[in-house]
Homo-oligomer: A and B are copies of this chain.
């Protein structure tokens, strides 16, 4: 069933943002630190068994100079700089095997797939990148409240910084055209891509499929579905830390980040999706700062989201945006 406001209300839903005064400072310093500690990325050829794609096992330096793994897939039989899709992965997922990420190289793009540090053990694709930061203060199992005791320690500070650095890594690669980079992801991957588009310097396009990590304060009130439920469980248990938790998340809220984006964007939203409820997605979409934006509304879909139909539209969208 439809689980949120009627579509007409969603289209004009613009809640008052809860934006910390030092939001931009926080991110400027965080990213500057990461870049200051950066080392050149390493690209080790990987024997994937695939014959139309050159695969590289990538190690780049992410948050605080920490090593982060990725796959780089380059379509064979191409020459010169390629446009590139930097891809981010959903909750509890990891980079898995390169053969799990074949869309964008098949479409003719370089494809850099960033691993999710510390994730990838939840029954889906697996990750290999550790999260060297302290596990820290008590938090609810999962990633949403890891390090929630402050913006400095939040897991998403590290993950979003990794994402910006993944874009940096793509930009610096000799086979990639730095002017033609798109960011892409669905659910958590969409939230990360949104952050990368907002924080990582200008990109040429953003493909954001039902982005997670938007409008936390509302999400906690209107859905029982995970992963937002982790946040509810946290403040339900650590009641004296409620203000602290929401104040921390303001630094990572897609609604605040979207306003800083400048790229053309194709969003999607599913009106029966309790995992990424429609109003949380529209709150970010309606505030998106880029000049051209569009959103595909899947009225009867849940968190299976845009799926392959959305991918089909994304392929067409990128053809125009990246050439």
Contacts and interface: CB of A to CB of B under 8 A. Distances in A.
The complex is assembled from copies of this chain, and their number is 6
Contacts of A321: none
A132 interface: yes
A243 to B, nearest CB: 11
Given A1-B223, A121-B138, A311-B99, A107 B300 contact: no
Interface in A58-112: 75-77, 92, 94, 96-97, 99-100, 102-103, 105-108
A316 B136 CA distance: 31
A138 B235 contact: no
B52 A108 contact: yes
A130 B241 CA distance: 14
Contact of A135 (B94, B108, B134, B239): B134
B127 A138 contact: yes
Contacts of A309: 97, 239-240
Interface in A228-249: 232-240, 242
A122 B140 contact: yes
| Secondary structure class of chain A's binding surface, majority of residues | loop
A138 B125 contact: no
A308 B97 contact: yes
Nearest to A298: B239
A15 interface: no
Interface stretch (A32-40, A141-149, A168-176, A177-185): A141-149
Contact of A118 (B92, B117, B136): B136
A116 to B, nearest CB: 8
A129 interface: yes
A215 interface: no
B122 A131 contact: no
A9 interface: no
22 contacts: A1-B223, A2-B222, A49-B107, A52-B76, A76-B77, A77-B77, A92-B141, A96-B308, A97-B312, A99-B312, A118-B135, A121-B139, A121-B141, A121-B234, A122-B233, A130-B134, A130-B135, A131-B134, A131-B135, A134-B134, A135-B135, A141-B143
Interface of A: 1-2, 48-53, 75-77, 92, 94, 96-97, 99-100, 102-103, 105-108, 117-143, 145-146, 220-224, 232-240, 242, 272, 298-302, 304, 308-309, 311-312, 315-316, 319
